[in-house]
Amino acid sequence: MSTQHTSRDFDAELRELRANLLAMGARCERSVQLAIRAFVEDSPSLAREVIELDRRINRDEMECDELALRIIALRQPVAFDLRLITTALKLVTDLERIGDEAVNIAERAEETEGEVHRLPSDILARMAELAEGMLRDSLDAFVESDIERANRVRRADDAVDKLYGEALSQMMDWMAAHPDKIPAAVRAMSVAKYLERIADHATNIAEEVIFMVEGQDVRHRTNAPKPLPM
Amino acid sequence: MSTQHTSRDFDAELRELRANLLAMGARCERSVQLAIRAFVEDSPSLAREVIELDRRINRDEMECDELALRIIALRQPVAFDLRLITTALKLVTDLERIGDEAVNIAERAEETEGEVHRLPSDILARMAELAEGMLRDSLDAFVESDIERANRVRRADDAVDKLYGEALSQMMDWMAAHPDKIPAAVRAMSVAKYLERIADHATNIAEEVIFMVEGQDVRHRTNAPKPLPM
């Protein structure tokens, strides 16, 4: 193998894979933003935009998978490079599911019957903002093999879980006081749950990154070189 | 490469990977069974068993990942074999999350305050039974590259979604009639949601299998040989 030439091609392919993942991640982030606005602002047109965007995200998943497989098949990477690419395969699944959760939020937005769901909207907006930041950080952690940042994502997940608990208990009190509004309250609880799951997916990504960077020391003790600088 | 010898080793490794995945899947299935019994029968000891089992499932995930990576690195498989192994990497993530959802159910079981959650227990039990069957079928579909069976899993998912809708609407009516029981009803709704997500993970597995078997014709048009018989 002409290593000089091959390694330059290989670097270009890895750059492409990373860029595709980041682009997909940015679309997921935008989708979450649109979805929560659709719900809080009661906007069917924003909801439709989310559903439209999800088609693109599904295509992104197929393209990233295909590129990752092509790189494995053609370059036959080992050690850290192989782990990088198989991590990418796993991340893509989490990203695609974040897109699905945004669609779930958008679908609840389409069912709303007026104001009722706005009650916990400040909590929902805060959860969405945290989840979007976690998503961004988890992908940056991947691109930079940055364990520090990945750990920050895990800590943020605790904050999201706490907000989720608050949203639930607000909604439960509120249902008890307004039994006629239970369907609307249940919708708001569902949205809180979807946001909590988006944060979980970002946390999964962060954990995959930690394993990617540290994993070979723990699990592949033989012939594991240090991670390459990316 | 001494293909005769290598290919025999390779087959043995693939068999090991498949066997590990099936064993992990069987533990996930047992975990779901125990969790729903813990909730319906209000049994803290069953709930603890689920949490114990989840540690083993997490270890399974690491071991399957490690084996799949080792096979890729050592055997440098291409075409269908490569897709088989990368599919395994994705399946393992779904299985691990099924284990997590079982833990979620077990945790709700630990919070119960008596009988209240039993109200929709027949629906929950039916959902659990369907989800367990889907999990089994999706893994069999993987092992046998059986698209027919994978499609059966997708159809069963519609039935689970329908039961989930029924559980929600029963619970909402019931909360309206018994506002003092709202926390218990919300717990039962959460359990229904976890079961619905377990069915989703099984559906994801089924869809990965369909893509594994059919995918290269659609997405990898160049030099894609027919799937090998397994």
**Structure ipTM:** 0.74
How close A169 comes to chain B (CA, Å)?
Answer: 9
How many CB pairs lie under 8 A apart between chains A and B? 68
Q: Rounded mean pLDDT of chain B?
A: 87
Specify the pLDDT at position B114. Answer: 64
Specify the pLDDT at position A230. Answer: 34
Residues of chain A falling short of pLDDT 70: 1-6, 113-119, 216-230
Q: Is residue A226 part of a domain?
A: no
Can you give the residue range of the structural domain that contains A75?
3-219
Q: Is residue A225 part of a domain?
A: no
- Cα distance between residue A117 and residue B120, in whole Å: 26
Taking a C-beta distance cutoff of 8 angstroms, is the pair B9, B80 a contact? Answer: no
**CATH number of the domain bearing residue A72:** 1.20.58.220
Q: Is residue B228 part of a domain?
A: no
pLDDT band at B117 (very low <50, low <70, confident <90, very high): low
Surface of B (100-139) touching A: CB under 8 A: none
At A194, give phi and psi (nearest 5°).
-60, -40
Which of A2-16, A179-193, B121-135, B151-165 has the least mean pLDDT?
A: A2-16
Single out the residue of A100, A140, A108, A141 nearest to residue A124, CA to CA: A108
Choose among B93, B183, B220: nearest Cβ to A172. B183
- Cα distance between residue A61 and residue A4, in whole Å: 31
Surface of B (188-207) touching A: CB under 8 A: 189, 193, 204
For chain B, what is the radius of gyration of the CA atoms?
A: 20
Specify the pLDDT at position B45. Answer: 95
Residue A217 CA, chain-centre distance (Å), reads 26
| Cβ distance of B90 and A86 shorter than 8 Å | no
Element (H, E) at A145: none
Q: Does A74 touch chain B (CB under 8 A)?
A: no
| Tokens (6 digits) for A202 | 């970002």
pLDDT higher than 60, residue B106: yes
User: pLDDT tens, B59-101?
Assistant: 999 999 999 988 998 888 888 899 999 999 999 999 999 999 9
Query: Which residues of chain A lie closer than 8 angstroms to B175, CB-CB?
Result: 175, 179, 182
- Reduced to 3 states (helix: H, G, I; strand: E, B; else coil), residue A226 is coil
pLDDT higher than 50, residue B41: yes
Alpha helices, DSSP H, located in chain A: 3-40, 44-75, 79-111, 121-144, 147-177, 182-219
Q: Is residue A204 part of a domain?
A: yes
How close B78 comes to chain A (CA, Å)?
Answer: 6
pLDDT higher than 90, residue B29: yes
DSSP designation for A119: T
Specify the pLDDT at position B219. Answer: 34
Specify the pLDDT at position A228. Answer: 35
Q: Is residue B168 part of a domain?
A: yes
Specify the pLDDT at position A217. Answer: 40
Q: Is residue A156 part of a domain?
A: yes
Taking a C-beta distance cutoff of 8 angstroms, is the pair A98, A27 a contact? Answer: no
Q: Is residue B35 part of a domain?
A: yes
- Burial (CB count <10 Å: 0-12, 13-18, 19+), residue A86: buried
| Cβ distance of A220 and B66 shorter than 8 Å | yes
Q: What is the DSSP string of chain B?
A: --HHHHHHHHHHHHHHHHHHHHHHHHHHHHHHHHHHHHHHTT-HHHHHHHHHHHHHHHHHHHHHHHHHHHHHHHH---HHHHHHHHHHHHHHHHHHHHHHHHHHHHHHHHH--SSGGGTTHHHHHHHHHHHHHHHHHHHHHHHHT-HHHHHHHHHHHHHHHHHHHHHHHHHHHHHHH-GGGHHHHHHHHHHHHHHHHHHHHHHHHHHHHHHHHHHHHHH--SS-PPPPP-
Single out the residue of B219, B205, B215 nearest to residue B154, CA to CA: B205
Specify the pLDDT at position B9. Answer: 86
pTM: 0.83
Single out the residue of B184, B171, B39, B153 nearest to residue B102, CA to CA: B39
- Reduced to 3 states (helix: H, G, I; strand: E, B; else coil), residue A182 is helix
B206 against A74, higher pLDDT: B206
Q: Is residue B155 part of a domain?
A: yes
- Cα distance between residue A91 and residue A94, in whole Å: 5
Domains in chain B, number: 1
pLDDT band at B6 (very low <50, low <70, confident <90, very high): low
- Burial (CB count <10 Å: 0-12, 13-18, 19+), residue A199: buried
